[in-house]
Amino acid sequence: MTSSTSIRLAAQHGNSTTGDRRHKPLTGESVQSKPDRPLRVLIVEDELLVAENTKEVLKASGFQVAGICRTGEEVIARFEKFNPDLVLMDIRLAGTLDGIQTAVVIHNTLRETPILFMTAFTPGHFPHLSAVRRGLYDYIAKPCEPPELIAHLRDLWKRTQNQ
Amino acid sequence: MIASIIDSSDDAIYSKSLEGTILSWNRSAERMFGYRPEEIIGRPGSLMTPDDRADEIPHILERIKKGERIDHYETIRKRKDGGLITISLTVSPIKDSEGTIIAASSIARDITSESRNSDIRNFLASIVDSSDDAILSKDLNGIILSWNLGAQRLYGYSPEEIVGHHVSILAPPDLPDDIPNIMERLNKGERIDHYETTRVTKDGRKLNISLTVSPILDTHGRVIAASAIARDITARKHDELERARLVVELEKSLAQKNILLQEVYHRVKNNLQVISSLLNLRSKYAMKNPEQASVAFKESIERIRAISLVHEKLYQAPDLEKLDFVAYLRALIDQVVHAYTINKKVELKISGDAFEVGLGTAISLGLILNELVTNSLKHAFALKHEGVIEIRCSGTSDALHIEYCDDGAGLPPDVDFETADSFGFRIVKLLIKQLQGSIAVSGVNRTTFHMTILKPQGGL
């Protein structure tokens, strides 16, 4: 199993109306190797300076930035268009929904896309984090350095593809 | 017959000569004083007199000799065993057939227990009267029978004013069932202990009291009246309420402080992320022009100082939430001018509406203005020794308009604000987008930046 299979499947799932919408490989093979097309990451961050820098960091590390959103509402409305493989999301956002609520909507109504939360708060500050589907998210504390961010994103991707 | 009557009397009856020698002695005298007739008859009556009353008998006998009678004289006598008894003494002269006084008859009644009871009563009465608590008694219909000084002090009524009135005079109008309920329980023989309720004073003040009401029983165990002891607990109740209020306030304050602490924690980390991002983004530009590295550092320091100034002003604000943006702007521009200019005079003119902004908006606007002022100082005033920066602020219900212009050289003809490869302008455009605003540039020699920022629902 190559990672390209996984990516293709992700794209299929993005357009699929069938029940199983997970980024699950067709076989049990590992997806440790680098995909032949860049992974698409949606950045959800209300601080655009942070988002802009994150975009450059991701691009420099071989990711493709699917888009930048400032609110959870915008993520939900444009999710299919952005078609991300991963979501990198702040928890405190500009709109009404916070990152955790947005994640729950994504997983329950759109796709089971892995989400890396990036926030200046501690996870204990958000009791409703437990509402997010287990195994489909990870957490990184702000401020974080680019290598740490990239490592977390890659780990989350590998972990979710192996499930 | 007479001797038999005398012997069967409960009173001690004895006679003595005018010199005080005991002449006769009945059974009750024997019981009362402990002497048998043979032990006392013929001996002086002073044997029964305590030392401190030694002159009493001669004095009594003097009066007897004059034919006087001594009635119900309360005194103390000493028993054979040394014990003292209180007696009520009646002494009468005994005359012979010719009417000559020849002796004296004494009738003594032991009133020791009565005297003790009286003492106890007086003692208890003095306790009741000296008590700080209000103590009153009432009959089973609720009519007040007695009223101590404490009750007078507490309720304001004198005994003359209140004794004979119904106790409901003390009940507040909002507790009409309170006293009937107490009376009902009393009639059943129940005692009411430390019952906390309210009463009203003569002048209409409401008191919190702790009330203990006990039934008063007759010798057959029947409830005939009730005693009530009331203690003023108004101050204690006030303290309790005050303490409860303070606890609620403290808890609220603690909760607010926890929220504030979490917010500060979040702000610190978020700002560090913004600063880290700014430095990282700027480093890309510096890599293109390594010789400009020191400029990049200086600019970055000023951006961090612009953010820092927001926090400084915010933590000085009364609510820690909003800062006076014009005051911030003056401090910011002063800071930037001092950082970039030596021997250059820059005049700052700020006009228009004053407005307040929250943390997020302040940092974005602060960084935008920091870039524009830096641009003026580095480029517009590059060849001048003095310059003017003008900022006009005006607000509508849904938007804020800021115009920034300088009287410097203006943007070079080949520089387009929209497409310029300038890190400063990139920051300005990004932050204007973050504020959901717009920016336009006009003028050639006198470049003006027109910024409009939509006011979010929660305010700027």
| Cα(A39)–Cα(A122) distance, integer angstroms | 27
- Which residues have C-beta within 8 Å of that of residue A103, sequence separation ≥ 6? A87, A89, A115, A117, A132, A137
Q: Measured between beta carbons, which residues in chain A are less than 8 angstroms from residue B272? A: 142-143
Q: Which conformational region is residue B17 in: left (phi greater than 0), alpha (psi within -120 to 50 degrees), or beta?
A: beta
CA A57 to CA A117: how far, in whole Å?
16
Q: Which residue of A has its CA nearest to B284?
A: A56
Q: What is the pLDDT along chain B (460 residues), one digit of tens a residue?
A: 667 777 778 899 999 999 999 999 999 999 999 999 999 999 999 999 999 998 888 999 999 999 999 999 999 999 999 999 999 999 999 999 898 999 999 999 998 888 777 777 787 777 787 888 999 999 988 999 999 999 999 999 999 999 999 999 999 999 888 889 988 888 888 889 999 999 999 999 999 999 999 988 887 888 888 999 999 999 999 999 999 999 999 999 999 888 888 888 888 888 899 999 999 888 888 777 777 788 888 889 999 999 999 888 888 888 777 888 889 999 999 899 888 877 788 898 999 888 888 888 899 999 999 999 999 988 888 888 889 999 999 888 888 999 999 988 888 878 888 888 888 999 999 999 999 899 999 887 788 999 999 887 666 6
- Give the pLDDT of residue A5: 32
Beta-bridge partner residues of B346: B387
Chain B contacts to A (CB-CB under 8 A): 262, 265-270, 272-278, 280-281, 284, 427, 430-431, 433-434
CB within 8 Å of A39: residues ≥ 6 apart: A7, A63, A64, A85, A86, A153, A157
Instruction: Collect all residues of chain B within an 8 Å Cβ-Cβ radius of residue A56.
Output: 280-281, 284
What is the per-residue pLDDT across A102-120, written as a single tens digit (0 to 9) for each? 999 999 999 999 999 998 8
- B275 SS3 class: helix
Q: Rounded to whole angstroms, how far apart are CA atoms A149 and A153? A: 6
Q: Decide if A52 and B273 are in contact by the 8 Å CB cutoff.
A: no
Residue A155 Cα, gap to closest chain B Cα (Å) = 22
- Residues 6 or more apart whose CB falls under 8 angstroms from that of B293 comprise B286
Instruction: Identify the three-state secondary structure at position B116.
Output: helix
In single-letter form, the type of residue at position B220 comes to H
Between chain A and chain B, the number of residue pairs with CB atoms below 8 A apart is: 60
Is A145 within 8 Å of B277 when comparing Cβ atoms? no
Q: Residues B22, B14: contact at Cβ < 8 Å? A: yes
Q: Which helix (H) or strand (E) holds B310?
A: helix B293-316
DSSP annotation of B376 reads: I
Give A-chain residues touching B370 at CB under 8 angstroms. Answer: none
Mutate which: A48, A49, A54, A140, vs B, most B CBs within 10 A: A49
- Rounded to a whole number of angstroms, the distance from the CA of B281 to the nearest CA of chain A is 6
Q: How many CA atoms lie within 13 A of B323 on its CB side?
A: 24
Please give the C-alpha separations between residue B291 and each of B340, B376, B379, in angstroms, as whole numbers: 18, 22, 18
Residue type, B397: S
- Residue A92 with chain B: CB contacts under 8 Å: 266
Contact assessment for residue A18 and residue A44, using Cβ atoms and an 8 Å cutoff: no
**pLDDT, tens digit, for every residue of B10-45?**
899 999 999 999 999 999 999 999 999 999 999 999
Residue of B nearest to A122 (CA): B266
Q: Which residue from A47, A56, A144 is facing B274, i.e. has the nearest CB? A: A47
A53 in reach of chain B (CB within 8 A): yes
Interface test with B, best of A43, A45, A46, A47 (most B CBs within 10 A): A47
* Predicted-complex ipTM score: 0.73
Task: Round to whole Å and give the CA distance between A22 and B49.
Answer: 119
- Closest-CA residue of A relative to B271 is A143
Cα of B2 vs its chain's centroid, Å? 78
Q: Which residues of A touch B434 (CB under 8 A)?
A: 46-49, 70
Report whether the peptide linkage leading into residue A143 is cis, meaning its omega lies within 30 degrees of zero.
Answer: yes
pTM metric for this prediction:
0.61
